[in-house]
Structure 1
Amino acid sequence: MDLTSWLEHYGYIVIFLSLLLEMLALPIPGEVMMSYTGLLVFEGKLNGTLSIVIASAGVSAGVTLSYWIGYFVGKTLVTKYGHYIHLGDKQLAKLTTWFEKYGNKLLFVVYFIPGVRHFTGYFCGLTHMPFRKYAMYAYPGAIFWVSVFITLGRVLGPKWELYHDTVNHYLIIFGVASVVLTLLVYVYRNHRKRIAGFIMNLLTKGLDYFNSLGKVRSLVLASFAAFVMFVSLMLGLIQDFFAKEFNLFDEITSYIVHVVFGPEWHDPMNYFSKLGSIYFYGPLIVLTAIWVIKKARDQWLELSFLFWVVIGGELLDDGLRMLFHRPGPVVSGFRFLNTFPSEDTLTAITVWGFSAFLLLRHYSKRRLQIPVILTVILICLLVGISRIYFNVQFPSDVAAGYVFGGVWISLNIILLEVLRVLQRSKEIRT
């Protein structure tokens, strides 16, 4: 008998005990159980208000018990076994200081992060956070977490099994984003003057450095303008994705591509698709690295960025496709999975674009800039058109690859130049 069956038979007792045990770090799927509780509320088998009260009591009991276990036993366990995980008295002191500053503020949202919520109570007790302060944030956070998931199951109703995983996925992202935002806010509040001084100093040096770039200024300025443009497009694209407004765009664009490029384009399209493959990327990256070694002053900085942009772009694309989780087109009965954004176009604009930037940055003749930029744009377009032509990606997937890739490459160009400024200023001081 699985957990949902137990829940149907024993109701509120299972809700209370399972959530209490999960807060003690037992492997119990709390979100699934609570949203299923919401489904039972929808079906009239459980009372909604009572379910939230019982679930909140179970979570509160669990986090209270874990706190006191950490409070009374935690220090002994750290002394005996802490060295196995590199946690000694010094590390514990740092952890305690950190929790005093930020820990209590995060208790409200960490429930949404699996693996973190299970041990937060233990750590708060271990660091001897005052229980009153702990309870002030932990208990309201428990009620909020429970209410969200039970309400979620109640709202989804009979479509619970269909949409639960997707909604839960975005709630986890919400939890992580909330924690990151909270940390940034508190870091800014505690170091406001230092951060403001650093930014002003950086802007002053950046302006001086920008004026000294000469012919390269146009490339850097264009990169900044591209970054602003791509970020704007990215925000609009994400909005359209959640609003599911891609159907008409996909239909019209796909129709145009297949009308313009008929069956006779099959072999050229195969060649165009290879422009976005390792057969071209490998030699291009090697040639770019050789060019940097031969021409650049900051060789290691630029080489590091070259490989970071390529590898980081791949990681970014994998993360985005897992995040958006959009099924692709169906070809010959086979459905392509997670095609948003297009890996091919994101990688193409990343590799070809950043290589072109490094080439032009160290080339003295400006008349080559326009032909190189146009060539890169053409190559990236051909890669994207080939994906649409063979029906392996939607046009919106291809467009998203360009946009996210554009954000990635323009951001890294700006970061490269900022780090170059910092490195030069450091060299001057020494």
Structure 2
Amino acid sequence: METIIMDMIEAFKSLSYFGVMLALTFEFIPAEIVLPLAGYWVYQGDMNLYLTIFAGSIGGVTGPLTLYFLGKYGGRPLVLKFGKYFLIKDEQLNKADRFFERYGGGIAFFGRFVPGIRTAVSLPCGMLKMNVWKFILFTYLAMLPVTSAYVYLGYKLGPRWEQAGAIFSQYANFLLIPIALIVIWFVMKAQKQKQRQKLKVDQ
């Protein structure tokens, strides 16, 4: 299976930046492989670092968008039927549902950093008819730092690009902690706005 995936990714290379975006659109191809490998292509001089990061971030949105529309227009029955083809299990979907109920649209952003549901979060966003532009914005903002880290690591490691995943996991907290603080600030701000609106209605 890994050999097939690698052959597919190498085929996408012929399409340059569009190929990077396209490879990430298929959720069954791990971004942890595509992005460091794309960084290696930058190292080889075949691509520009910033354009590769941009293409990777766009691909990080188009993939989730597929699941978003599956949830929006297919509903839960269709999701349960075809979710397995996107490597999504019922347990992941149930967890994503609970997260959405608790945090609302913000899950499109910080749900990307929660192991076990990061792929499935797109489905409840679609099923509950979250605004598609808000979904795209939150998803892009979540994918940009992760994409940048993986591509940069692949670029710096060069021929050793396969080590990027292990290094990212080792230092992920340095990336995720500031993101978590931003999320907490966002949630607290949203709650305060709701309380103010409630007080105005009561008055």
Please state which band the TM-score falls in when normalised by the shorter chain.
Answer: 0.5 to 0.7
Q: 1:157-168 to 2 correspondence within 5 Å?
A: 157-161=158-162, 163-168=163-168
Query: Hey, what's the Cα distance between the residues in 1 that align with 2:58 and 2:34?
Result: 15
Shift of 1:168: 2.2
Q: 1:21-32 to 2 correspondence within 5 Å?
A: 21-22=26-27, 26=28, 28-32=29-33
For residues 38-75 of structure 1, the C-alpha deviation after alignment (integer angstroms, 9 at most, x for no partner) is: 01101112232332233223222212221111112224
Residues 16 and 55 in structure 1, CA contact (< 8 A), matched pair in contact too: yes
Which protein shows a greater Rg?
Answer: 1
For residues 325-378 of structure 1, the C-alpha deviation after alignment (integer angstroms, 9 at most, x for no partner) is: xxxxxxxxxxxxxxxxxxxxxxxxxxxxxxxxxxxxxxxxxxxxxxxxxxxxxx
Residues 36 and 153 in structure 1, CA contact (< 8 A), matched pair in contact too: yes
Corresponding residue number in structure 1 for 2:87: none
Shift of 1:146: 1.9
Corresponding residue number in structure 2 for 1:19: 24
Corresponding residue number in structure 1 for 2:85: none
* Closer/same/farther in 2, CA of residues 189 and 10 from structure 1, 3 Å limit: closer
Corresponding residue number in structure 1 for 2:34: 33
Query: Hey, what's the Cα distance between the residues in 2 that align with 1:9 and 1:38?
Result: 16
Corresponding letter in the other structure for 1:141:
A
Corresponding residue number in structure 2 for 1:55: 56
Query: Hey, what's the Cα distance between the residues in 2 that align with 1:9 and 1:185?
Result: 41
Corresponding letter in the other structure for 2:9:
L
Greater RCO, CA 8 A, separation 6+: 2
Q: Pairwise CA RMSD of aligned residues?
A: 3.8
* Closer/same/farther in 2, CA of residues 79 and 15 from structure 1, 3 Å limit: closer
* Closer/same/farther in 2, CA of residues 107 and 174 from structure 1, 3 Å limit: farther
Query: Hey, what's the Cα distance between the residues in 1 that align with 2:9 and 2:79?
Result: 37
Query: Hey, what's the Cα distance between the residues in 1 that align with 2:79 and 2:55?
Result: 34
Residues 67 and 121 in structure 1, CA contact (< 8 A), matched pair in contact too: yes
Does the residue aligned with 1:119 lie in a helix, a strand or coil? coil
Q: 1:243-254 to 2 correspondence within 5 Å?
A: none
Query: Hey, what's the Cα distance between the residues in 2 that align with 1:185 and 1:142?
Result: 17
* Closer/same/farther in 2, CA of residues 113 and 32 from structure 1, 3 Å limit: farther
* Closer/same/farther in 2, CA of residues 171 and 129 from structure 1, 3 Å limit: farther
Work out whether 1:169 is the aligned partner of 2:169.
Answer: yes
Query: Hey, what's the Cα distance between the residues in 2 that align with 1:189 and 1:75?
Result: 28
Q: 1:217-366 to 2 correspondence within 5 Å?
A: none
Gaps of 5+ in 2: 82-89, 193-203
Work out whether 1:150 is the aligned partner of 2:166.
Answer: no
For residues 371-422 of structure 1, the C-alpha deviation after alignment (integer angstroms, 9 at most, x for no partner) is: xxxxxxxxxxxxxxxxxxxxxxxxxxxxxxxxxxxxxxxxxxxxxxxxxxxx
Query: Hey, what's the Cα distance between the residues in 1 that align with 2:79 and 2:61?
Result: 25
* Closer/same/farther in 2, CA of residues 183 and 106 from structure 1, 3 Å limit: farther
Does the residue aligned with 2:40 lie in a helix, a strand or coil? helix
Percent identical pairs in the alignment equals: 26
Residues 100 and 107 in structure 2, CA contact (< 8 A), matched pair in contact too: no
Query: Hey, what's the Cα distance between the residues in 2 that align with 1:79 and 1:56?
Result: 27
Corresponding letter in the other structure for 1:41:
V
- Count of aligned positions: 175
Corresponding residue number in structure 1 for 2:199: none
Shift of 1:31: 1.4
Shift of 1:78: 7.8
Query: Hey, what's the Cα distance between the residues in 2 that align with 1:132 and 1:189?
Result: 18
Shift of 1:114: 5.0
Corresponding residue number in structure 2 for 1:125: 126
Residues 66 and 121 in structure 1, CA contact (< 8 A), matched pair in contact too: yes
What TM-score comes out, normalization by structure 2 length?
0.65
Corresponding letter in the other structure for 1:121:
S
Query: Hey, what's the Cα distance between the residues in 2 that align with 1:9 and 1:173?
Result: 33
Query: Hey, what's the Cα distance between the residues in 2 that align with 1:74 and 1:39?
Result: 40
Corresponding residue number in structure 1 for 2:86: none
* Closer/same/farther in 2, CA of residues 130 and 185 from structure 1, 3 Å limit: closer
Gaps of 5+ in 1: 192-430
* Closer/same/farther in 2, CA of residues 54 and 188 from structure 1, 3 Å limit: closer
Query: Hey, what's the Cα distance between the residues in 1 that align with 2:166 and 2:136?
Result: 31
* Closer/same/farther in 2, CA of residues 69 and 10 from structure 1, 3 Å limit: closer
Corresponding residue number in structure 2 for 1:273: none
Query: Hey, what's the Cα distance between the residues in 1 that align with 2:66 and 2:79?
Result: 18
